[in-house]
């Protein structure tokens, strides 16, 4: 299983690159971790690794942010933190994004668990007692 220990922010970029190359065929990545674990921060690095120079910010309010890579490919950054009902995900037309074939990076995927596609990469960020992070990733079918 993909597993990395991160003790400083400067290591995130390298881990993001490794994550992308480990799961080259995959497009939907679900990021699990408590509030403050660093989901948005890690996704910033993943977007850099995918070649986007865009300002990557938290989509908690906007629900979905869209960025572009240097080749003008879309990256969708979701945040289901404030979703209360699955219906709200349908209201946003989440399926148009998730099945688009573009990279989809999802924060708070547990809120829409039944709607996640059959094949995703589960990325878990766990905060250790010393505030370092263990980042693991696994393909789920």
Partner 1 sequence: MSEKRITILGIESSCDDTSAAVIQNELILSNVVANQKVHEEFGGVVPELASRAHQQNIIPVVDLAIKRAGIDRTDIDAVAFTRGPGLLGSLLVGTSFAKGFSLSLDIPLIEVNHLQGHVLALFIRENGIEYNPPKFPFLCLLVSGGNSQIILVRDYLNMEVIGQTIDDAAGEAFDKCAKVMGLPYPGGPHVDRLAKEGDPNRFEFSRPKIPGLDYSFSGLKTNFLYFLRDQIKENENFVEENKADLCASLQHTIIEILLSKLKRAAKETGIKEITIAGGVSANSGLRNALKNNAAKYGWNLIIPKFEYTMDNAAMIAISGYYKYLKQEFTAQDTVPFARTQL
Angle between helices 12-22 and 39-49 (to 10 degrees): 60
Question: Residues 22, 66, 110, 138: which binds partner 1 (CB under 8 A)?
Answer: 66
Pick the closer one to partner 1 by CB: 19 or 75: 75
Residues 122/32, Cβ–Cβ less than 8 Å: yes
Q: 13, 26, 32, 40: which one contacts partner 1 (CB under 8 A)? A: 40
Question: Does 7 participate in binding partner 1 (rule CB under 8 A)?
Answer: no
Binds partner 1 by CB under 8 A, chosen from 10, 21, 24, 55: 55
Whose CA is closest to 97, among 122, 121, 82, 115?
A: 115
Using CB under 8 A as the binding rule, the residues of this chain from 11 to 30 that contact partner 1 are none
Q: Is 61 in the site for partner 1 (CB under 8 A)?
A: yes
As measured in angstroms, the least distance from the Cβ of 45 to partner 1 is: 12
**Under rule CB under 8 A, residue 69 binds partner 1:** no
Interacting residues toward partner 1 by CB under 8 A: 35-36, 38, 40-41, 44, 54-55, 57-58, 60-68, 82, 85, 87, 90-93, 96, 131
């Amino acid at each position: 299983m993909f597993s990395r220990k991160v003790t400083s922010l400067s290591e995130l970029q390298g881990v993001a690159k490794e994550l992308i190359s480990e799961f080259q065929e995959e497009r939907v990545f679900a990021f699990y971790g408590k509030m403050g674990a660093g989901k948005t921060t890690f996704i910033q690095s993943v977007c850099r690794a995918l070649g986007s120079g865009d300002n990557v910010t938290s989509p908690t309010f906007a629900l979905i942010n869209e960025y572009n890579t240097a080749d003008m490919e879309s990256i969708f950054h979701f945040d289901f933190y404030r979703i209360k009902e699955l219906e709200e995900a349908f209201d946003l037309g989440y399926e148009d994004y998730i099945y688009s074939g573009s990279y989809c990076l999802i924060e708070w995927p547990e809120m829409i668990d039944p709607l996640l596609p059959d094949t995703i990469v589960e990325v878990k960020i766990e905060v250790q007692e010393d505030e370092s992070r263990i980042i693991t990733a696994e393909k789920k079918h």
